[in-house]
Structure 1
Amino acid sequence: MNSATCVQDLKSDLGEGPVWNEKKQTLYWVDINGQKIHKWKMKQDQQIAYHLPEKVGCLAIREQGGLLLAMENGFYFFDESTEELTAINDTEESLSYNRFNDGKPDPVGRFYAGTISSTKGNASFYCLDKNLKTSRMFSGVTNSNGLAWSPDETKLYYIDTPTKKVTVHDYDPSTGKLTNGVTCITVPEGIGKPDGMTIDEEGMVWIAFFGGSCVGRFNPQSGEWLKKIDIPASQVTSCTFGGTDLQTLYITTARKDLTEADLDKEPLAGGLFAYNTNIRGMPSYRFKG
């Protein structure tokens, strides 16, 4: 069966951004609209929620401890023991109609994250370097979403959701610069909007489809759709590999704006799902600033 199982029925309004901490065998993810970080310690089957003062688009494990958050207006460090937030900067503070959305560390330890705007083309994609300096990588984005680095660390795959495409950029690990962005995957009609994304060690990308009730595995070299995983929730938002062997795909979902009739049909919407693959994923990188 190519169907995922619900492992945490949390009914998140906008579950997003799962990150696996392989050292602690712990999964983190966020509920953007619920202003929460979720943390699931697998071995103890312990689920913890941290409540935040504003929306959090995504998070990363910080190499020296704690988390890095991309919140509505900028980047913050988060101390799990004290639940204290420490502001780094306010990149989008002047743009009240924008907020940070998806983001991840690169293989070197920088953090890349983009924004979402209510105005077409008014968002951007940023890099927070290890020295805590922020630079704009490119603009003209509407809904900055999934990203993944190729296993050989030479390419960045990137989604701006309304384009319904995945672009591939040449990536220089020594400088962090991105060049030569071109389309590598055009999303087929009828499977929703491309949202979050991850990658396996074979270099194939796994894309969550919002409104499509599925995750798809694609070959970014050929654009071929290789595999479909069905999710019993329509708003599929993101995915990452985890588990002891990095062969379990963890999938976040949402229930944003669903009607009561919709929820009767998909009561597990907003839950965390899991699907056991026979393919090993790439580990989550850490922020080294």
Structure 2
Amino acid sequence: MNTATLVLDAKAALGEGPSWDAERKLLYWVDITRESFHAFNPVTGTDEVFQVGQQVGAVVPRRSGGVILAMQQGFYAYDFTSGALTPLGDPEEHLPNNRFNDGKCDAAGRFWAGTMRMNEHGSDGTLYCLEPDLTIRPVLSGLAVSNGIAWSSDNRKMYFIDSLTRVVMEYEFDLESGTLSNGRAAVQLEEGPSLPDGMTIDEEGMLWVAEWDGYRVGRWNPNTGELLQSVEVPSARVTSCVFAGENMDNIYITTSRKDLSDEELRLQPLAGGLFHYKAQVRGAATYSFGG
């Protein structure tokens, strides 16, 4: 049965941005509007919460230790030993109503993360790249809701979602320079209530796309645009997914209970939970930030 099961009844307001720390064997994820990131241990089922004092859209492991966060006021480093939160740069200091949303590292250790308006209106979001030397450069502009990112196993393609377009874009990707070119629509979601949100990729090059208001994660073929499989989630607002575990065949799925009515919450008591699905294919590793 293609149904995800609950592993943590977190009741997150806006769970998002998961990543897998293979060295520490921890799943990191964020609760954006509750200004926190989490470290979930799949073996013990424990979940440690770290309050960071501002909205946080994504978290990734750092090769030198700790994690890097994409937050409301830019990029930050967090040190688990000292608890220190160190600002690395804010490219949108002039846009106080914007915040970072989803993000991910490429194989060269760059952290890609995009912005959006906190009221989810307008199109002044930008996809940025935080280089290992801590320089920040804009890559794509004019975005409404910057969201899921994934790379092909040969690092020649990068996939990106701007949610309100309902499209997964595919770009030619140069790993050495970290540049994009020749974008095309790889997957087009049908008109309806759901929007593409976060995303990951498996070793066969198929994309796993979380659907906000869709109650599912879909497995898509970016070469044909075909939906191959649906994993049902007992929460409408499915936000993102990531492969994890020793064999990289466990998918962890974040969800949201943001703006759900009392009646909707009654029908979705597990909304905001962290879910798990055992895939029949291995997935891409979470790359760590190189700086």
What range is the shorter-chain TM-score in? over 0.9
SS in 2 for 1:138: strand
Q: After the TM superposition, which segments of 4 or more aligned residues of structure 1 sit over 6 Å from their partners? A: none
- Letter aligned with residue 237 of structure 2: Q
Q: What is the SS of the residue equivalent to 1:33?
A: helix
Deviation (angstroms), 1:24: 1.9
After superposition, what is the alpha-carbon deviation per residue over 1:65-120, rounded to whole angstroms, capped at 9, x for unaligned? 00000100210000122221000111111101211001111111011110012442
Q: Does 1:72 align with 2:72?
A: yes
Q: Distance in 2 between matches of 1:26 and 1:191?
A: 33
CA shift, 1:190, in A, is 3.2
Return the match for 1:207 from 206, 209, 213.
209
Matching residue of 1:105: 105
What are the Cα deviations for residues 174-197 of structure 1, in whole angstroms up to 9, with x where unaligned? 100111111111012336100000
Between the aligned partners of 1:184 and 1:42, the Cα distance in structure 2 is 33
1:15 aligned partner: 15
Partners of 1:284 and 1:276 in 2: CA distance:
17
Q: Find 1:198's aligned residue among 193, 197, 200.
A: 200
Aligned residue number for residue 224 of structure 2: 222
Separation in 2, partners of 1:174, 1:79 = 28
Instruction: Give a deviation string over 1:18-42, Cα, whole Å, max 9, x none.
Output: 1111122211100001111111122
Q: Which residue is 1:40 aligned to? A: 40
Gaps of 5+ in 2: none
Q: Which residue of 2 aligns with 1:252?
A: 254
**TM-score normalized by the length of structure 2:** 0.97
Contact 2:4-2:232 within 8 A present in 1 as well:
yes
AA partner of residue 105 (structure 2): P
Quote the residue 1:90 is aligned against: 90
CA contact (8 A) 2:8 2:45 kept: no
2:145, 2:19 → 1: CA distance? 20
1:106-165 deviation digits (Å, cap 9, x = unpaired):
111011110012442211111111110001112111110000001110010000000000
For the residue of structure 1 that corresponds to 2:89, the secondary structure is coil
8 Å Cα contact 1:211/1:234 also seen in 2:
yes
Q: Residues of 1 paired with 2:266 and 2:140: CA distance?
A: 42
Deviation at 1:51, TM superposition (A): 0.8
C-alpha separation between the residues in 2 aligned to 1:149 and 1:191? 27
Cα pair 2:156 2:172 within 8 Å, conserved: yes
Kindly indicate whether residue 29 of structure 2 is the aligned counterpart of residue 29 of structure 1.
Answer: yes
TM-score, length-scaled by structure 1? 0.98
Conservation of the 8 A alpha-carbon contact between 2:74 and 2:89: yes
Per-residue deviation at 1:44?
3.1
Secondary structure class of the residue paired with 1:88: strand
Q: Which amino acid aligns with 1:214?
A: R
The amino acid across from 2:175 in the alignment is: P
CA distance in 2, matches of 1:138, 1:231: 31
Aligned to 1:189: 191
Match of 1:184, SS state, is strand
Displacement of 1:43 after TM fit?
Answer: 2.8
Aligned residues: 289
Indicate yes or no: 2:179 matched with 1:143.
Answer: no
Aligned to 1:275: 277
2: distance between equivalents of 1:83 and 1:11?
Answer: 25
For the pair 1:152 / 2:154, whether they are aligned, the reply is yes
Q: Deviations over 1:27-64 (max 9, x none)?
A: 11000011111111223332210111101010110000
Structure 1 counterpart of 2:101, one-letter code: N
In 2, Cα distance between the equivalents of 1:202 and 1:34?
Answer: 36
Superposition RMSD in Å: 1.0
- Describe how 1:159-170 pairs up with structure 2 within 5 A: 159-170=161-172
Who is 1:175 aligned against? Answer: 177
Question: Structure 2: how far apart are the matches of 1:164 and 1:25?
Answer: 33
Paired-residue identity, %: 45
Could you say which residue in structure 2 is the equivalent of 1:115?
A: 115
Q: CA deviation at 1:239?
A: 0.1
Alignment of 1:44-55 (within 5 A): 44-55=44-55
Deviation at 1:199, TM superposition (A): 0.2
1:57 aligned partner, one-letter code: G
Higher mean C-alpha displacement, 60-69 vs 177-186: 177-186
Larger mean CA deviation between 131-140 and 44-53 belongs to 44-53
User: Once structures 1 and 2 are overlaid, which stretch shifts more, 263-272 or 188-197?
Assistant: 188-197
